A and B are shown apart, each in its own frame.
Chain A
Amino acid sequence: MKKHRRSRLRVMVDIMRAIRACSNEARITWIMRDANLPYDRLLNYLAELERRGLVIRKSDNSDLYHLTKKGMKFLIEFEKVERFARVFGLEL
């Protein structure tokens, strides 16, 4: 079966979903497993998500991440648009 390469946006949303699935407080190892990403790539994505204000690290030396209010809002909105796209048989 042909596997589709995930877009950058899709990977970031998968990371955010992984964090939300762990009661909005997830360790890097859990995110790696849920979002299906290697450690180095995950760190890059997490840095970008932090820069955009969508996720936040609990403290500087912690590996616990959680979604910000902006991140939660973005994820909810993304899911609405995703459902809309699926109506037309498309994936975002």
Chain B
Amino acid sequence: MLALLYFMTSCFDIISGAVAVPICHYALKAYKLSKRRFFLFISTAFLLLATGLISHGMILFLILATRPARVLIALTSTYSALISILLELLAYMLIAIGYHEEIKKILAVPLIPIGPISINVLSRMIGVVLLFYITINQFLVYVRVRERGSLLLLVAFISILVSYVMHLHALLLVKSEVYIISRCINFFGFLILLYMMHYVVHGGGIEKA
């Protein structure tokens, strides 16, 4: 069961990380063309996401392939998960800053209860707040432009937000099935991002300005 969970997480992470790479590439191109800092934030954020996800996935895959001692498994998987979640947080923070700078919509950030909670729970909580902010901004973008690409990005962010909320729920209530569902929803979000990139690269009818 644990091996299956590791395998699933490893595959999901590597594929999700691979999806983040073209987004980083196109954001960098957009930055080079327009010199808008927003795209630099997006590019850096997706680079961090890709790095975190791919490295975490590869480490899990290596653990599965080599089957080292239990202590080593626990240590490497814990630390790689920690590094991955920190990189994800940093990435979502950069996206949120990008939206904030570009769209100038100020949203009151709710207070995060900091008490005797683990780093994992705390980081997920911060992630939920950041993703909520990003999703609200993308919703405003979609309402303004009413385009399929924007809708796809909105759905992707909503999926990732839902997965974060479910992951938090799984951590607090220690429910493995909720964790598996949260991973699946997160992966679904990245698949939507992949579809969005397909839409961007292979055309989707630009309305003439």
Cβ-defined contact, B42 with A86, below 8 A: no
Contact with A along B71-82 (1 / 0, CB 8 A): 000000000000
Given A81-B26, A84-B27, also A89-B141 (CB < 8 A): yes
A88 and B199 CA atoms in complex are apart in Å by 14
B45 interface residue (CB < 8 Å to A): no
Question: Which residues of B are found within 8 Å of A85, using beta-carbon distances?
Answer: 30, 34, 39
Cβ-defined contact, A87 with B209, below 8 A: no
Question: Which residues of A are found within 8 Å of B138, using beta-carbon distances?
Answer: 88
Give the residue name and chain of the A residue nearest to B23 (CB): A84
Cβ-defined contact, A88 with B33, below 8 A: no
Interface residues on A, range: 10 to 19
A90 and B36 CA atoms in complex are apart in Å by 10
Q: Of residues 45 to 85 in A, which have CB atoms within 8 Å of B's CB atoms?
A: 77-85
Question: Which residues of B are found within 8 Å of A77, using beta-carbon distances?
Answer: 29
Cβ-defined contact, A90 with B147, below 8 A: no
Given A80-B26, A81-B26, A81-B30, also A87-B200 (CB < 8 A): yes
B4 interface residue (CB < 8 Å to A): no
A82 and B26 CA atoms in complex are apart in Å by 10
B206 interface residue (CB < 8 Å to A): yes
Question: Which residues of B are found within 8 Å of A86, using beta-carbon distances?
Answer: 145, 147, 149-150, 206
Give A contacts to B, CB under 8 Å.
7, 9, 77-92
Add 11 more A-B contacts to A84-B29, A86-B206, A87-B200 (CB < 8 A): A77-B29, A78-B33, A79-B203, A82-B206, A83-B200, A84-B30, A86-B150, A88-B138, A89-B141, A90-B36, A90-B102
